[in-house]
Structure 1
Amino acid sequence: MEQEIHFVKLNPTQNMTILVETAHPAKAHKDIATKIMSYDSVYAEQVGFIEEPISYKADAHLQMAGGEFCGNACMALAAFIMSKQELKHNRVKKILLEVSGTDSLVECEVKRGADEYYCQVTMPIPKEIKQRTINHEGNKLDIVLIDYGEFVHIVRNVKDFNERVKEEAQSLAKSLALTLNVSLIGILLYNQDSHELEPLIYIPHLDSMVWERGCGSGTASLGSYLAWKNKRETTIHVKQPGGTITAIANYQERKLISLKIEGSVGIVAQGKAFITV
């Protein structure tokens, strides 16, 4: 049976994101997402569903297809809401979102630019950050584990982003999924000399593995790791294949107080998609 899906496609730092406007039961999210993000459909790296919020304080609820939390998708939805409210050029407005993968309301500050929106999003603070040495396929790997409870990010310091390193990252993500009960595993390859990041995002529930061109949540994790490591407030502009995202980590009294990211969002397309379910 063919189903009509109303969607908007957005571009937060080339982390192409589809937001579904029509209401669908949760059990259908995985199938819809898999089909609409495929090459022969609308095509994107991730899919979220816009739903009515439970809290009266929230402007909307964002339910990601894999149940994960996504900073870039938060920025995308905030920009879309502001476009519908016809936010004036250079004006700034704040909204609150309910988002899958976190129990806290997410604050988004949006500024309207000439042809895109500039967003600052308050991100979840990691529950734990720790350095570990793990055995993987006969090799000892030095990693930084950033644990949010619902999802984890792994930071690996690398000198370059060659195929061997990338294949190892993909294998590591699959391996960790067998032992960690989480909605998302991110492997963040980071060159600390050039401040470049290559983020791999694996969502076990969807069996979706993508080398993202820009990762907001990964940028936040990197900022939190550097603040934790250096024991001070940190602002870092992280270069990624799709552009730059900024992380702002407020570190006081030996702990992270707040964590934010900043980036730009463009609205690419809006319309109807037709998929067979």
Structure 2
Amino acid sequence: MKQEVDFVKCSPTQNMTVLVKSRHPVEDHLHIASKLMSYDSVHAEQVGFVEESVQYPNAAAYLRMAGGEFCGNACMALASLLAAERGASPLDTSHILLETSGTDQLIDCQVRWDEDGYHCRISMPVPEKIHLRNLQYGERNWEATELIYHDAIHLVMEVQQFSNAIREEAEALVRTVDVDDRFSLIGMMLYDAKSGEMAPLIYVPLLDSLIWERGCGSGTASMGAYLAWKHQRNITADIRQPGGTIHVAADYGQQGLSKLEIEGTVGIVAKGKAFIHA
């Protein structure tokens, strides 16, 4: 059996994202996503399915990620695509609300287009809890800061370098993190404070997908939350990643962290029809 899939491929900070515009049964999403992500198909790091929002009449669309997770970069990609379809011009800023998997919060997106691409600023979910956590793998003890979200856990670990040995240990460690079934994603953000560089590792258990992303919007938001929590103050920072830089702003006051926003650039690089064979 062959399925035809209408897709658009986007590049939010080189975190290659496929948005599926044709409608498919939810039970087929994992299979379709796995095929689309593979090297011999469209090839991407993540897949989201674009649907109509049924819960929020003011939302422009519902973005259902294949693993049920929340993804900031995919939200930026979809907001940019919707702005493009509305005929965005360099003088306009499109204001778009999105419903998405992985959070009950509507995502507020502002998109501006110019010759460099679509510049998108979006609100991000604030972590429910931030605390220190020690992780043991082999003979090595990792000290991490754990950020707990509605459907995900992010671990921030400061490192002196991004060596192959540290990356290999991080890959093994992230698979062993003991979490509740409600968490659809585990992220590990290696951070070099001196250079302001981050290496984001994203694990989606349902897809058995483990990827060192070239740019991670949700991980950037976690870095902003971590820095604001660590220094007990508002933070604005440019987080350098292999695919480019994403800006983060975090508000921190007497009640703790209250607001997170990220800003990055999205390119719409391809669209067409993919063929999925059972």
Normalising by structure 2, what TM-score?
0.97
Match of 2:49 in 1: 49
Counterpart Cα distance in 1 of 2:140 and 2:91: 52
Match of 2:194 in 1: 193
- Residue pairs, 1:1-277, within 5 angstroms: 1-54=1-54, 55-176=56-177, 178-181=178-181, 182-277=183-278
Between the aligned residues of both structures, percent identity stands at 50
CA contact (8 A) 2:103 2:150 kept: no
Structure 1 residue 179: Cα displacement: 3.8
Moved more, 26-35 or 108-117: 108-117
Structure 1 residue 99: Cα displacement: 0.6
CA contact (8 A) 1:108 1:119 kept: yes
CA deviation vs aligned residue, 1:122-152 (integer Å, no higher than 9, x gap): 0000000011223222322111001003101
Counterpart Cα distance in 2 of 1:146 and 1:193: 22
- 4+ long deviations beyond 3 Å: none
User: Structure 1 counterpart of 2:19, which letter?
Assistant: L
User: Structure 2 counterpart of 1:141, which letter?
Assistant: W
User: Structure 1 counterpart of 2:59, which letter?
Assistant: A
Q: Find the residue that maps to 1:175 and give its secondary structure.
A: coil
CA contact (8 A) 2:8 2:272 kept: yes
Counterpart Cα distance in 2 of 1:143 and 1:122: 25
CA deviation vs aligned residue, 1:35-75 (integer Å, no higher than 9, x gap): 01110000010000000101101000000000000000000
Q: Find the residue that maps to 1:66 and give its secondary structure.
A: coil
Moved more, 140-149 or 12-21: 140-149
CA deviation vs aligned residue, 1:180-199 (integer Å, no higher than 9, x gap): 42100001000000000000
Counterpart Cα distance in 1 of 2:180 and 2:200: 19
- The unaligned stretches of length 5 or more in structure 2 are none
Q: Find the residue that maps to 1:30 and give its secondary structure.
A: helix
- The unaligned stretches of length 5 or more in structure 1 are none
Normalising by structure 1, what TM-score?
0.98
Q: Find the residue that maps to 1:187 and give its secondary structure.
A: strand
Counterpart Cα distance in 2 of 1:22 and 1:254: 43
Counterpart Cα distance in 2 of 1:234 and 1:115: 26
User: Structure 2 counterpart of 1:238, which letter?
Assistant: I
User: Structure 1 counterpart of 2:10, which letter?
Assistant: L
Q: Find the residue that maps to 2:206 and give its secondary structure.
A: coil
Q: 1:115 to 1:191 in 2, by over 3 A?
A: closer
Moved more, 235-244 or 85-94: 85-94
Counterpart Cα distance in 2 of 1:164 and 1:106: 37
CA contact (8 A) 1:231 1:254 kept: no
Structure 1 residue 254: Cα displacement: 4.1
Structure 1 residue 25: Cα displacement: 1.0
Counterpart Cα distance in 1 of 2:174 and 2:101: 21
CA contact (8 A) 1:233 1:250 kept: yes
